[in-house]
A and B are shown apart, each in its own frame.
Chain A
Amino acid sequence: MVEILPNIIFSLILIFALGFFVKNIQRLIKVIKMGKPINRTDNPSKRLSNLVRIALGQSKMVTKPISGFLHVIVYVGFIIINIELLEILIDGVTGSHRFFSKYFNPFFYDFLIASFEILALLVLISVIIFWTRRNIMKIKRFLSAEMKGWPKFDADNILYFEVVLMLLFLSMNATDLILQDRGFEGYYKAGSFPVSSFLVPIFDSFDTSTVYLYERIFWWLHILGILFFLNYLYYSKHLHILLAFPNTYYSNLEEKGKFGVLESVKNEVMLMFYPERASNENNQVEKFGASDVLDLNWVQLMNAYSCTECGRCTSECPANQTGKKLSPRKIMMDTRDRLEKVSLNISKNKGEFIDDGDRLLDNYISKEELWACTSCNACVEVCPINIDPLSIIMDMRQYLIMEESSAHPDLNNMMNNIENNGAPWPYNQLDRELWAQETQ
């Protein structure tokens, strides 16, 4: 009974950690589904190819070669080392040791363990460079106003986590190797350890029972750390490691210049032009544009959770580059923060949103930011996982103009001109062909 106690404890922790994770993911899906409907299921083959190319293949990451290359290392490391995770879980539940080594060809098992170790070392180096870029090199996009406080803490936490996990993994292997060499019970020869063998001298002077104790501590801390990290994701910008996939799959396939026709407006305009053609359905007056997160569609809400705050959008934004307040990254972060608040409000009030006197417009995103956008699509183009901050900006402008009539004063002149004389400037429509009569 005492012998299987660790396995029971492990299984209980595993069930709890996975259960908590699944519960949070279910909540996340529910919150995203609170968004307005938008059809993004057409052309599944193109969508799948976007997912494979952009999320799986990291094609947009490498447009910035340094951070892109380092990111690919961490990403590949993350995926490959997860094979080892599977073995650790089986060992934890069943009490086996290096379960796969019994079933795999020894050379293949050696190759696997060796490649995990080399990847772990590469990940460690990359993460340290990432930390240096964030904390020592003063790269502009990591220093913006919206990165102060929690976002900075969150970003650094993730890096510390990865360093600790990689060090635990390598130390676990190093102590395992010592036990294997000393012929400790249950630790038969398995695996090749090109990196952790360099850590052996640290532990080699200890007696075998101490080494065993260390090995167990490292093993447990490593897996507990991973389970904790899994559950940290939901509260962190790091959710992108999961959401990058649906986010690229459901991203916009149309030309970037095409801004969709707003159906609620189309119904009203059609009624004016062709009263006989207007349908009797859809007669209720809808709100035009977005003033709060629940006016946005579910893809926009998913975008907000997918954003990992890398800031490539903001560094490409012409308004931001010239010192204006607008930062596309902040648009996404604000949307997520507000959405979290709204969803908490809804779950506290038994499924209904009770007005909290707050909204995305003004309280999070100011008019000044919205009016600074040139709709140039640089932010959309550069996002490594196809997030679309511009669509949120445009929806909020629609609200400003059509619901609040609070356009920038210069724009009111432009719109009056278009309405009255068919040009944004005060020229007469009848003079449209005068240029042809001019001689240069």
Chain B
Amino acid sequence: MKVPILSDLKSKGESPEYLFWVGCAGSFDDRSKKVTKAFVKILNKANVSYAILGKEESCTGDPAKRAGNEFLFQMKAISNIEILNSYNIKNIITTCPHCFNTIKNEYPELGGNYKVIHHTTFINNLIKENKITIGGGYYKGKKITYHDPCYLGRANGIYEAPREVIDKLDAELVEMKSCKSKSLCCGAGGAQMFKEPEKGDQDINVKRSEEAINTDSEIVAVSCPFCNTMMSDGMTAKQKNMDVLDIAQMIEKAEDL
């Protein structure tokens, strides 16, 4: 698939409107790569002027910071900011709430000031501006539940954009027992994604998956690569065939992109 790389565009003297920050999961994790590709298809369909950093992209430093390694975080942040500023980047889209939160909230104090948009907000805006239209009724009447990522919801107060997209799919949104500001974490935040959980009587992702299963929905919509992994694993643990899909993948399917 054709994906514009920022350094190529620069050598042609072009500067795109948006940088799509793919993120580590979006680049390497099999589930998340599908989300990345789905989102690229949406960007292409809507004729968005964008590029990715490609080989110049690196971890934002989020997991290091949440683990407590402020040194490593700041070193990653400052070298990322140098690259972003050298390209004079103004707008960044991310498909990962952790990248979103870190670049939006924690880079400014280190000299990186950008307008950062999460892909669910971006997609919602594209639909509102009629840059993509959703027809076909692929999800019409289907029960869908939405899992709020902590770093999009509580951390940044974004609860409605993903719900508005689901609403536009003509689907029936069913909320879980705990949702929005009271949503239960998937268990991956704060660097937990990269370690085994502490001893307890249940894994958090299994508990959250139970809440999703209890809604009797066909699909759990997610908007974070870590939540995607955790909820998919949770469904496997519960031996349930419930689809776990990112908002971008749902648009991809609805639009047959």
Contact = CB atoms under 8 A, between A and B. Distances in A.
Interface in B81-101: 101
A321 B154 CA distance: 18
A381 B182 contact: yes
Interface string B18-31: 00001010111100
B167 interface: no
Contacts of B54: 432-433
Contacts, number: 227
Nearest to B53: A432
B12 interface: no
Interface in A387-413: 394, 396-402, 407-408, 410-411, 413
A103 B228 CA distance: 70
B155 A401 contact: no
A318 B187 contact: yes
Contact of A427 (B28, B200, B207): B28
Contacts of B151: 257
Interface string B55-88: 1011101011111111110111011000000000
Interface in B169-226: 181-185, 187-204, 207-208
A378 B69 contact: no
B66 A377 contact: no
Given A257-B155, A435-B33, A402 B28 contact: no
A322 B24 contact: no
A407 B68 contact: yes
B131 to A, nearest CB: 22
Interface string A319-336: 101111110000000000
B29 to A, nearest CB: 8
Interface residues of B, number: 75
A256 B150 CA distance: 10
Contacts of A316: 182
A338 to B, nearest CB: 20
Majority secondary structure, A binding face: helix
Interface stretch (A8-16, A135-143, A260-268): A260-268
Interface stretch (A160-168, A201-209, A366-374): A366-374
Interface of A: 254-262, 265-266, 268-270, 272-273, 288-289, 316, 318-319, 321-326, 368, 371-378, 380-382, 394, 396-402, 407-408, 410-411, 413-415, 418-419, 422-425, 427, 429-438, 440
| Shortest beta-carbon contacts, A-B, top 6 | A257-B155, A375-B190, A397-B68, A422-B58, A323-B201, A258-B105
27 contacts: A256-B154, A257-B156, A260-B109, A261-B106, A265-B70, A265-B71, A266-B109, A318-B185, A322-B201, A323-B202, A368-B199, A378-B183, A381-B154, A402-B68, A407-B69, A411-B195, A413-B194, A414-B67, A415-B72, A418-B63, A423-B58, A429-B58, A433-B54, A435-B26, A435-B27, A435-B36, A440-B37
Interface of B: 1-3, 5, 22, 24, 26-29, 33-34, 36-37, 40, 52-55, 57-59, 61, 63-72, 74-76, 78-79, 101, 104-106, 109-110, 150-151, 154-157, 181-185, 187-204, 207-208
